[in-house]
Amino acid sequence: MGVLRRRAKQLAGPASSEQATAEDSDAMYALGYRYSQQTDPPDLEQAGDWYRRAADAGHVDAMYMLGYLNSQQTEPPDLDAARRWFERAADLGDSRAMNNLGALYAHQAQPPDLDAARAWYERASEAGNSDGMYGLAELHAALIEPADLNAAIHWYERAADAGHVAAMKWLGDFHANADPANLEAAQHFYQQAADAGDSDAMYGLGIVYLKSMDEPDLPAARELFERAAEAGHRAAMYWLGMVWANYAEPPDLAKALQWFERSADAGHIGAMTALGNLYAQVMQPPDLAAARHWYQRARAGGDRGAMHNLEVLYEDSTPTPPGWGTRPPSEEEMDAMLEWLDGPGTALEDVFEASGPALDEVTDAFKHGDEAAVRAACTKVARLLTDELPASLPTPDPDLTRALQALIDDANEMSWAQRELADSPTPQQRETMQSRLGDIATSIHALLTIFERNDAILESAGRG
């Protein structure tokens, strides 16, 4: 930056500021760009200063970047300043500024001004800006009432013809999901977007080849899923697992597990459930511990089907062994309990110590009617219990294992109820949340009772 800075210092003097050349304003703009886009963290004050100097010297890109800085990088956005700078750039023919004015009026202004948005998108489109065409399509499809699907398709097609990848993807989705589907058109637009590197389009085209054709084209689908997966597309990873588990002849369960695990680790809930199904129902012999692990993760993510599968798994694991409260533990079981307490069980003390204040936070938030605080505190409690406790299962005492699992189940149920809360919860939703909190408190009390009982058993045996 040394050359630019020296040049900028020269520009700061009275003589050069009165008559800046194009080269001068380019240097100012380059400094602004470095401060706003290439510095970590961005120095927006310095960037704005140099952009303004360049803009005052007539630099259109600097005017555009001042609009961008004020609308996208400043917190909170300064929409009035952004609008002024975008308008200056637009008046000098910058189609990006025209498009961004359309987006500002459509998505950032409160309330939106859709007439102004449409006017600016149209100006951008007339200047050949594909983002403006895409913005017009979105207006007609989703924002203007009543929606005008024909006009939306017209502008999506115009944008796609101009190279707009998101428009190609939208058209692929539209034709693939139409009733009846237009698979030829879907393939055409998905292929265009996939060739441009869009992983969503690769995934969509893979689904067409796998599920929508008269005969699945497994090699083509697998290749597209693999390309999307390597770009980080977790749904494509999931479908690679499905291909190897359910479509390949013969199935390759090792590859299915590999892709399901990659997808699950990326957060795909369906992949977690699929892993539970594989371990419980397909693998020989079944691995019920692994199945339970993945069903629990899927349930924590809100998959109620996984909750049912987990219940069935527990039912299939009968008969339930008696716990220490029914019959005295053996010497080996007491040794195992001491080992567990020094190992996986160590996390429980921290969880219980933190859960009390966390539950108090939820109660206080309910009392004060602070909905945001209720959500935050409920999320904190659920994560505390569902993230830490599963690693401690199973325990040497079946009673303790069942009590821990019940607490995890209660936390998952509260997490699910919290997700279903409306922005302004109904009285019934509030009652449900408070009931879930009561269940958690009851389960914690039951756990502590079992711990106290087991401590007494160990002490009476000289193991305390």
- As a whole number of angstroms, the distance between CA 410 and CA 402 comes to 12
Question: Same domain for 455 and 405?
Answer: yes
Map tokens 């969880």 to a residue. 351
Q: Are 130 and 99 in contact (CB under 8 A)?
A: no
Among residues 255, 251, 292, the alpha carbon closest in space to that of 273 is found at 292
3-state SS, residue 217: coil
Question: Same domain for 364 and 447?
Answer: yes
Q: What dihedral angle (degrees, nearest 10) is formed by the CA atoms of 118, 164, 172, 266? A: -110
Does 299 score more than 90 pLDDT? no
Question: Same domain for 264 and 379?
Answer: no
Is residue 423 included in any domain, yes or no? yes
Question: Same domain for 292 and 264?
Answer: yes
- Interaxial angle between packed helices 95-103 and 130-138, expressed in degrees from 0 to 180 and rounded to the nearest 10: 20
pLDDT band at 108 (very low <50, low <70, confident <90, very high): very high
Is residue 444 included in any domain, yes or no? yes
Question: Same domain for 356 and 426?
Answer: yes
pLDDT band at 105 (very low <50, low <70, confident <90, very high): very high
Among residues 180, 93, 167, the alpha carbon closest in space to that of 137 is found at 167
Q: What is the pLDDT of residues 123-137, one digit of tens each?
A: 999 999 999 999 999
For every residue of 406-438, DSSP letters joined together read: HHHHHHHHHHHHHHT--SS--HHHHHHHHHHHH
Share of the chain above pLDDT 70, in %: 86
- As a whole number of angstroms, the distance between CA 201 and CA 186 comes to 10
CATH of residue 371's domain is 1.20.120.330
Domain finish residue from 318, 347, 363: 318
Phi/psi of residue 33, each to 5°?
-65, -40
- As a whole number of angstroms, the distance between CA 436 and CA 410 comes to 7
Is residue 115 included in any domain, yes or no? no
Question: Same domain for 335 and 281?
Answer: no
Among residues 457, 436, 320, 460, the alpha carbon closest in space to that of 382 is found at 436
Tell me how crowded residue 114 is: count the other CB atoms within 10 A of its CB.
17
Question: Which residues are CB-neighbours of 20 under 8 A, at least 6 positions away?
Answer: 11, 28, 53, 57, 58
Q: What is the pLDDT of residues 408-450, one digit of tens each?
A: 877 877 776 766 665 666 666 666 676 677 778 777 878 888 8
- As a whole number of angstroms, the distance between CA 383 and CA 367 comes to 22
- As a whole number of angstroms, the distance between CA 385 and CA 355 comes to 8
Question: Same domain for 311 and 384?
Answer: no
Q: What is the pLDDT of residues 48-75, one digit of tens each?
A: 999 999 999 999 999 999 999 999 999 9
Does 4 score more than 70 pLDDT? no
Question: Same domain for 258 and 279?
Answer: yes
pLDDT for the residue 313? 67
- As a whole number of angstroms, the distance between CA 95 and CA 5 comes to 30
Q: What is the pLDDT of residues 374-408, one digit of tens each?
A: 778 777 877 778 777 787 878 888 888 888 888 88
Residue by residue, what is the 3-state secondary structure of 265-333?
HCCCHHHHHHHHHHHHHHCCCCCHHHHHHHHHHHHHCCCHHHHHHHHHHHHHCCCCCCCCCCCCCCHHH
Identify the weakest region by mean pLDDT among 15-19, 111-115, 276-280, 314-318. Answer: 15-19
Whether the upstream peptide bond of residue 396 has omega within 30° of 0, thus cis, is no
Is residue 453 included in any domain, yes or no? yes
Is residue 104 included in any domain, yes or no? no
- As a whole number of angstroms, the distance between CA 389 and CA 348 comes to 7
Question: Same domain for 440 and 335?
Answer: yes
pLDDT band at 13 (very low <50, low <70, confident <90, very high): very low
Is residue 442 included in any domain, yes or no? yes
Q: What is the mean pLDDT of the chain?
A: 85
Question: Which residues are CB-neighbours of 57 under 8 A, at least 6 positions away?
Answer: 20, 24, 25, 28
Question: Same domain for 455 and 389?
Answer: yes
**Which run of H or E residues covers position 449?**
helix 427-460
Does 268 score more than 80 pLDDT? yes
Does 193 score more than 60 pLDDT? yes
DSSP letter at 392 equals G
**Mean pLDDT across 41-45:** 95
pTM for this prediction: 0.66
Domain that holds residue 413: 331-460
Question: Same domain for 399 and 336?
Answer: yes
How many domains does the chain fold into?
A: 2
Domain finish residue from 287, 318, 349: 318
Is residue 197 included in any domain, yes or no? no
Domain finish residue from 289, 318, 347: 318
CATH of residue 294's domain is 1.25.40.10
pLDDT for the residue 11? 45
Q: Are 411 and 379 in contact (CB under 8 A)?
A: no
- As a whole number of angstroms, the distance between CA 158 and CA 333 comes to 72
Q: What dihedral angle (degrees, nearest 10) is formed by the CA atoms of 350, 356, 361, 366? A: 140
Question: Same domain for 309 and 337?
Answer: no
pLDDT for the residue 59? 96
Is residue 72 included in any domain, yes or no? no
